[in-house]
Amino acid sequence: MSGYTEGIIILLCINFIAAMGVSLLTGFTGIFSLGHAGYMAVGAYTAAILTFQYEFNFIIAILLGGAIAAILAYVIGVPTLKLIGDYYAIVSIGLGEAIRLILENGGTITRGARGYPGIPPYTTLTVALCFFVVMAFLMFNLINSRFGRAFKACRDDYIAASLLGYNTSKYRVLSLVVSAFYCGISGALLGGFLSFIQPIMFDMVKSTEITSVVVFGGLGSMTGTLIGTFVITLITELFRPISQYRMLIYGAILVIIMVIRPEGVMGQQEFGPKMLKLLKRKFLRGNFSKEGGDINDKGI
Amino acid sequence: MTKVSKNIILKLDNLNKHFGGVPAVKDISFSINKGELAGLIGPNGAGKTTIFNLVTGVYSPDSGHIIFRDEDITSLKTYEVIHKNVARTFQNLRLFPRSTALENVMVAMQQHHAYSFGEAITHFGRWGKKEKEIKLKSMDIIDRVGLAKRADQPARTLPYGMQRRLEIARALALDPEFLFLDEPAAGMNPEEVNELNHLIVDIHKEFKLTILVIEHHMDLVMEICPHIICMNFGTKIAEGNPDEIQRHPEVLKAYLGEEVDE
């Protein structure tokens, strides 16, 4: 395998992990975030400093990167997620920018705006793939558990959820902490892949990019998030030769999706045996109907 | 008229709630005995739903106390009240529209079949056993309200009457002692009201519940509720059995208007 393909696969794994985290928060719990690159930055710098400065084992450094991001999310989440509405989205913008500015002015610890060079290149193909597989396994298990159902209940109707005995703000904070952990890990892997990180890499553009990938794939669908990340990452790579038009194409694709499929590529459905069965039925019989034309929610 | 009894499960004591300058609930006191099937009636805007919202912690009262099983639950948060074995349904449905009927009930059922976060993300340990239990018991309840065939359908695609019954099923899945039904028959045709009638009486016996039901269909209330409380403009105007209520002058005034002297 050429170094280039290998690089793309590693980058895909890194993007997958970050997108899964945001998908849990935005798609499954209904909280918009525009500052998740901030958690990636925290993970990336933690791992970088620990491996370069203190010569930690890289796996421990990556996990600590995720943990520190998660702790930060807890501190931010407890006061802000008690409020219902878009408050967290607004706070997250401030948080993302604040983290970036702190890193830019971090003196000898973060080495400022010029960036942090010389991180040991610990993110090999195997490491990236292993992290992706394990994190995806845990995430899919989580959404297929009582916690997944509780997150969705809080997203769909928080009053009904609290009248079913759920402390909704607790579940919202839990979702944020898990999602920050995923972004922290993703950032730590990115640092090890590039060997160099810079505060500007984790600005608001990066945050909106992750969120838009999740919306592209379909809010409330984890497989949709993976498909969305795959498509967007590959498109960005594909059009590298005409890089001045990349953002244009990227925007055009988002607009096309908004127009022809506003619920995202997968809507709220998961890609799996159940969906294959439905698709098969659609193509064989030409319709979705079941039990004599029963209503089946937009077919799928 | 209120009997003094040690059997009291819910007691409202001089409850007050204002919205701005509007008194929604004024000095309301009444109590419900364990195992009762009681009705709360009154014209639109009388404050019936506000009482439900006060008891379940959606609003907090300006003054007064709510006692449930000898415990003051006045200042508890909504989810804490629910953990005291109280459940309710809503006047305007609040199902999770995109989840299936079964998932709607499972969300409530899983409250009694918890497992840890670690077990949830690894699917080790109790996950399999508990999930199976949650699903089976939820199916039982869905079957009980007659929706077994529709279990896999998204809630919002169910006919209206079925959505109402699904909400009752979801409340029952919490395994409550006390069930508040907020206008369960709203928007139903006479046939559906009749079916619902039977359902309420049956679950009352079967699950050994205490039920307080808000209703506009007088025939439904008069038929199934031996104990009726009537409200108007935020105050209690009458309390008693159906006969007493039907003959009570204040109730007649509230529903039919005053006689005009000629």
Q: Could you tell me if B169 lies within 8 Å of chain A, comparing CB atoms? A: no
The pLDDT assigned to B259 comes to 65
- Asked if residue B32 is part of any domain, the answer here is yes
> A131-158: per-residue pLDDT in tens?
999 999 999 999 999 999 999 999 999 8
- Asked if residue A236 is part of any domain, the answer here is no
- Asked if residue A237 is part of any domain, the answer here is no
> B96-112: per-residue pLDDT in tens?
998 999 999 999 999 98
- Same domain for B191 and B146, yes or no, is no
Instruction: Find the CATH number of the domain harbouring B239.
Output: 3.40.50.300
> A257-300: per-residue pLDDT in tens?
888 888 888 877 888 777 787 777 777 765 544 443 344 444 33
- Same domain for B44 and B166, yes or no, is no
- Same domain for A101 and A10, yes or no, is yes
- Asked if residue B90 is part of any domain, the answer here is no
Domain-ending residue, one of B119, B149, B174: B174
- Same domain for B185 and B253, yes or no, is yes
Alpha helix ranges (H) inside chain B: 48-55, 78-82, 101-109, 117-122, 127-144, 160-173, 190-206, 218-224, 242-247, 249-256
Q: Could you tell me if B90 lies within 8 Å of chain A, comparing CB atoms? A: yes
- Same domain for B25 and B60, yes or no, is yes
- Same domain for A188 and A281, yes or no, is no
Q: Is B249 exposed, middle or buried (0-12, 13-18, 19+ CB in 10 A)?
A: exposed
The pLDDT assigned to A66 comes to 96
DSSP run (H or E) holding A146: helix A146-156
- Same domain for B1 and B80, yes or no, is yes
- Residue B153: domain span: 95-174
> B149-204: per-residue pLDDT in tens?
999 999 999 988 889 999 999 999 999 999 999 988 888 888 888 888 889 999 99
- Asked if residue A238 is part of any domain, the answer here is no
Per the CB < 8 A criterion, the answer to whether B245 and B230 are in contact is yes
Domain-ending residue, one of B140, B174, B208: B174
Domain-ending residue, one of A165, A190, A208: A208
Q: Which of A20, A151, A164 to mutate to test the interface with B (most CBs of B within 10 A)?
A: A164
The pLDDT assigned to A250 comes to 78
Q: What percent of chain B has pLDDT over 70?
A: 96
Domain-ending residue, one of B174, B201, B231: B174
Nearest chain B residue to A166, by CA: B79
- Same domain for A45 and A188, yes or no, is yes
Q: Does pLDDT of A256 surpass 90?
A: no
Domain-ending residue, one of A158, A190, A208: A208
- Same domain for B8 and B69, yes or no, is yes
Q: Does pLDDT of A84 surpass 70?
A: yes
* Mean pLDDT of all residues belonging to chain A: 88
φ/ψ of residue B97, rounded to 5: -65, -35
More confident residue, B1 or A233: A233
- Same domain for B163 and B122, yes or no, is yes
- Same domain for B162 and B199, yes or no, is no
- Asked if residue A246 is part of any domain, the answer here is no
Q: Does pLDDT of A58 surpass 50?
A: yes
The pLDDT assigned to A274 comes to 77
> A174-197: per-residue pLDDT in tens?
999 999 999 999 999 999 999 999
pLDDT band, residue A63 (cuts 50/70/90): very high
- Same domain for A112 and A195, yes or no, is yes
- Asked if residue B131 is part of any domain, the answer here is yes
- Same domain for B80 and B205, yes or no, is yes
φ/ψ of residue B74, rounded to 5: -55, -45
* Mean pLDDT of all residues belonging to chain B: 88
Closest by Cβ to A160, choosing from B94, B153, B157: B94
- Asked if residue A255 is part of any domain, the answer here is no
Cα torsion through A276, A220, A22, A10, rounded to 10: 0
- Residue A297: domain span: 275-300
- Asked if residue A229 is part of any domain, the answer here is no
pLDDT band, residue B219 (cuts 50/70/90): confident
Closest by Cβ to A163, choosing from B82, B154, B157: B82
- Same domain for A187 and A297, yes or no, is no
Give the pairing of strands B178-182 and B86-88. Answer: parallel
pLDDT band, residue B262 (cuts 50/70/90): low
Closest by Cβ to A157, choosing from B96, B115, B157: B96
> B108-125: per-residue pLDDT in tens?
999 988 899 999 999 988
Residues of B in contact with A177 (CB under 8 A): none
In angstroms, the CA B49 to CA B40 distance is 10
- Asked if residue A285 is part of any domain, the answer here is yes
The number of domains in chain A is 2
- Asked if residue B102 is part of any domain, the answer here is yes
DSSP state of A24: I
The pLDDT assigned to B212 comes to 94
- Asked if residue A170 is part of any domain, the answer here is yes
Q: Is the Cβ pair A294, B131 closer than 8 Å?
A: no
Distances (CA, A) of B220 to A144, B38, B69: 41, 12, 28
- Taking an 8 Å Cβ-Cβ cutoff, which residues of chain A contact chain B? 138-139, 141-142, 144-147, 149-150, 152-153, 156-157, 159-168, 174, 220, 268, 294-297
The number of domains in chain B is 2
- Same domain for A202 and A286, yes or no, is no
Q: Is the Cβ pair B95, A160 closer than 8 Å?
A: yes
- Same domain for A151 and A294, yes or no, is no
Q: Does pLDDT of A89 surpass 70?
A: yes
Domain-ending residue, one of A155, A188, A208: A208
